[in-house]
Amino acid sequence: MTRRLPRKDVVVVGLGWTGSILSYELCRAGLDVVAIERGPWRDTASDFNIGTAPDELRYAIRHELFLQPAQDTVTARNTPDQRALPIRTWGSFLPGNGVGGAGVHWNGHTWRFLPTDHNLRTHLISRYGESFLPENSLIQDWPMTYDELEPYHDQFEKVAGISGKAGNIKGTIQEGGNPFEGWRENEYPTPPLTMGYAQQLFIDGARKLGLHPFPKPSANLSVPYTNSYGVRMAPCTYCGFCERFGCANYSKASPQTCVLPVLVRQPGFEARTRCEVVKVELSADRKRATGVTYVDADGQMWEQPADIVLLCGYQFWNVRLMLISGIGTPYDPRTGEGVVGRNYCYQTSSGVTAFFDNVNFNNFAGAGSLGANLDDYNGDVFDHGPHGFVGGGGISNAVTNARPILFHPTPPGTPSWGSAWKREVKNWTNRVTSVGSQGSSYPYRDCFLDLDPTYKDRLGRPLLRMTFDYKPNEIRMAKFMADRCEEIARAMGASRIVRNDRGPGWSVVPYQTTHNTGGAVMGTDPGTSALNRYLQSWDVHNVFVFGASAFPQNAGYNPTGMVGALAYWGAAAIRDRYLANPGPLV
C-alpha cells in the first residue's frame, strides 16, 4: 500500500552535483525541498576516511562507490537489429550512487565548451555546407549561446574552486592559458596544480610543434580555498587515489566538499536516502506532475506530492524515469519522431602510449586532473575542410595514478604472465606516459535509448536499453587525433610509441569514460528536443531535467563543468521566472 506524505514545494530526484545545487539555490529562495536519493548518505570523515580511502581493490576493482548493477543497470547493443544484453558488471562506464553521485568519484576535469560547440549545426553548415555533415547525423544547436551561459560557468567554478589558468579574460588572450577558449569574465578561482615531469615534457614538446599547451582546469585544488558558499577546502596532495575514490583531503570538489555542509543547515531542506523514486506521477491531462512515488529501504511505497519535480539523476536514469513516467514522446528510430531517448552520445577517445628511457615519471604521484592539455585540434578550432570529418578533441598528458592492479603497462609482445612479464612490468611502470585525445561524439539517427523488452530491474521495471556504436566520422576523427598524439609523443622524446586507435564495435568491457550524454536533450524545437532552453519539459511544465542528458551532442571535453553551469542556469530560471508564473517558460 502506498502511503501519502505532506506536500513539498520541490522534490529533487537524486542528490549529486545538480541535486545539491538546485536544492540549495531553491531553499535559499524560501522553498521547502526534499531530495530523494536511492543510495546511502556519504561523507568524507566516515566514508572516505584517510585510513581506508586509498584501497584500490575495494573501490577501483570491486566498485564500492558505484551503483550496483543488481540494483539497476542498462542493456547494450551496437545496432538496432541486434539483441541487447545487460551489463552485468560495469566496464565501459561507472555510474555513481549515493549522496554526491558521480561527483564523489570523478577525476575533476572542469571545462567550458567552445562557443562554436553551442551553435554547432549552424556553425558547421555556414563554414562547410550541409553536405559536409555525416550521414544520418542529428547534430543540433544548443538552445543558449556561450555568452548566455558564461556567468553560470563562473558561478559553478567559484563554488568548486577550480584551479586553472585563464586563456581569454574579456577577450584579451592570456599567456599560459588556452587561447582558443571562450571569453571569461574572471581568472580561475585558484592557480593551476603543479605540473609533473611528464607534463613538462608534453608542454615543451607541444610548444616545439607550435601548439598551445596549458594546465588542465582542475577540481583538485592547488591551494586552500573558501568557496562562494563559505565552505573551506584543502589543497590536493597528489595522492593517486582520485577517480573511483572519495577524497579524504577535502581537496576534490564534490557535493560533500562544496555544497552539503551549507545545504543541510537550510531549514527548508530534507534528504531521504536509500529511497528510490520509481515514477513521476502526472495529472489526468498529463500536463503537470503531481509528485513522485518512491520505495524506501524497507520496501514501503510512499507518494510525495510536490509542486515542482526536478530530475537530477545520472543521465541514464533521468531518461528512464521520463520513459517510465510518460513525460514526453519516446523516440522512434524508424520514423525519427519522438524525442525521449534521442541524441544519445558518448565520447571518442584515441591516442598513444609512450615509453621513455632514463626518466622517473613517478606515476604514483598523480591527481585526477593533473595534466596539461591543448585545444589546437578541439571542436572546430581548426579547418576540417581537408580532413573529411567534423569534431575534434582536447589532447592531453595526464598522470592520475599508478595503482598497480589496473596500471602495470608493458610494451606489445610482452606475455601477460610469467618471469618475462615480471621483468617488463618492473622495467616500464615508471617510464610510461600517455598522450591522449578525448574526442567529441556526435548524434546519429540509430544511436538512442529506449526501454528493454526483456530485462527488468529488481523492482520489475524495464531496464534502459542503449543502442550505440562509433561511426565512420568519429573513427576518422579519432585516427586524425592519434596521429597528432604520435607527433607530440615523438617531440617529447619517447623511445617507443604504441597507438591506441578506435574502430567500430563499441564494447561494454574495457573502461572508456563515464561521459554518457543525451536522451533528454534541450533545444528550441519540441519536435527535436525533450526540454526547452530552461531545461523544462516541453510537455510537463513543472518537471525540469538536469545533467548531461540535456546535451544535444557531446564535445571534446569532460561534461561536469557544463552540467554545473546548466544547473545554475536552470536554478535561476526557476527562481526568477517560473515561481512568479508557473507554466511553460517558452
Instruction: For residue 105, indicate whether it is catalytic.
Output: no
Cβ of residue 171: shortest distance to other proteins, in angstroms? 33
Q: Does 28 bind other proteins (CB under 8 A)?
A: no
CA–CA dist 295, 457 (Å, integer) = 14
Could you give the residue ranges of the DSSP H alpha helices within 119-242?
120-128, 146-160, 197-208
Of 123, 153, 515, 541, which is the active-site residue? 515
Instruction: Please give the DSSP secondary-structure letter assigned to residue 576.
Output: I
CA–CA dist 152, 205 (Å, integer) = 35
Q: Which residue type sits at 414?
A: T
Neighbour tally for 542: CB within 10 Å: 24
User: Among residues 22 and 76, whose Cβ is nearest to other proteins?
Assistant: 76
Query: Out of 29, 80, 91, 512, which residue is the one contacting other proteins (CB under 8 A)?
Result: 91
Give yes or no for a contact between 73 and 87, defined as CB atoms under 8 angstroms apart: yes
Phi, psi (5° rounding) for residue 242? -115, -75
Residues 51-80 that bind other proteins (CB under 8 A): 51-52, 54-58, 61-64, 68-71, 73, 76-78
User: Among residues 56 and 376, whose Cβ is nearest to other proteins?
Assistant: 56
User: Among residues 47 and 375, whose Cβ is nearest to other proteins?
Assistant: 47
User: Among residues 207 and 387, whose Cβ is nearest to other proteins?
Assistant: 207
Neighbour tally for 111: CB within 10 Å: 25
User: Among residues 48 and 214, whose Cβ is nearest to other proteins?
Assistant: 48
CA–CA dist 244, 249 (Å, integer) = 15
Pairing of strands 74-77, 462-467: parallel
CA–CA dist 248, 96 (Å, integer) = 18
CA–CA dist 38, 296 (Å, integer) = 8
Residues 554-583 that bind other proteins (CB under 8 A): none
DSSP string computed for 254-319 = SHHHHTHHHHTT-TTEEEEES-EEEEEEE-TTSSSEEEEEEE-TTS-EEEEEEEEEEE-S-HHHHH
| Contact string 456-475 vs other proteins (x = CB under 8 A) | x-xxxx--------------
Cα torsion for 400, 401, 407, 408, to the nearest 10°? 120
Cβ of residue 495: shortest distance to other proteins, in angstroms? 16
Q: Does 505 bind other proteins (CB under 8 A)?
A: yes
Residue located via cell numbers 567559484: 158
Q: Does 6 bind other proteins (CB under 8 A)?
A: no
Phi, psi (5° rounding) for residue 280? -90, 130
Residues 404-443 that bind other proteins (CB under 8 A): 404-405, 408, 416-419, 422-423, 425-426, 429-430
User: Among residues 52 and 145, whose Cβ is nearest to other proteins?
Assistant: 52
User: Among residues 100 and 379, whose Cβ is nearest to other proteins?
Assistant: 100
Contact stretch for other proteins (CB under 8 A) within 4-12, 291-299, 329-337, 568-576: 291-299
Query: Out of 86, 179, 305, 326, which residue is the one contacting other proteins (CB under 8 A)?
Result: 86
Query: Out of 46, 172, 335, 581, which residue is the one contacting other proteins (CB under 8 A)?
Result: 46
CA–CA dist 572, 586 (Å, integer) = 15
Q: Does 275 bind other proteins (CB under 8 A)?
A: yes
Give yes or no for a contact between 341 and 331, defined as CB atoms under 8 angstroms apart: yes
Instruction: Please compute Rg for the chain using Cα positions.
Output: 23
Query: Out of 4, 7, 30, 45, which residue is the one contacting other proteins (CB under 8 A)?
Result: 45
Task: Find the distance separating the first CA and the last CA of the chain, reported in whole Å.
Answer: 39
Cβ of residue 301: shortest distance to other proteins, in angstroms? 6
Calculate ∠ Cα 75-81-84, nearest 5°.
Answer: 15
3-state secondary structure of 453: strand
Contact stretch for other proteins (CB under 8 A) within 88-96, 134-142, 211-219, 375-383: 88-96
Cβ of residue 416: shortest distance to other proteins, in angstroms? 7
Query: Out of 13, 18, 19, 47, which residue is the one contacting other proteins (CB under 8 A)?
Result: 47
Q: Does 527 bind other proteins (CB under 8 A)?
A: no
User: Among residues 45 and 586, whose Cβ is nearest to other proteins?
Assistant: 45
Q: Does 9 bind other proteins (CB under 8 A)?
A: no
Q: Does 241 bind other proteins (CB under 8 A)?
A: yes
Q: Quick one: which of 160, 176, 171 has its CA closest to 226? A: 160
Residues 115-174 that bind other proteins (CB under 8 A): none
Pairing of strands 2-4, 301-311: parallel
Cβ of residue 389: shortest distance to other proteins, in angstroms? 23
User: Among residues 214 and 361, whose Cβ is nearest to other proteins?
Assistant: 361
User: Among residues 251 and 560, whose Cβ is nearest to other proteins?
Assistant: 251
Q: Does 297 bind other proteins (CB under 8 A)?
A: yes
The number of residues that bind other proteins (CB under 8 A) is 101
Query: Out of 30, 40, 151, 224, which residue is the one contacting other proteins (CB under 8 A)?
Result: 40
Cβ of residue 538: shortest distance to other proteins, in angstroms? 26
Which strand (E) or helix (H) includes residue 168? strand 168-169
Residues 192-221 that bind other proteins (CB under 8 A): 194, 196-197, 200
Residues 352-381 that bind other proteins (CB under 8 A): 359-362, 364-365
Query: Out of 147, 226, 264, 525, which residue is the one contacting other proteins (CB under 8 A)?
Result: 264
Q: So which residues are the catalytic ones?
A: 515
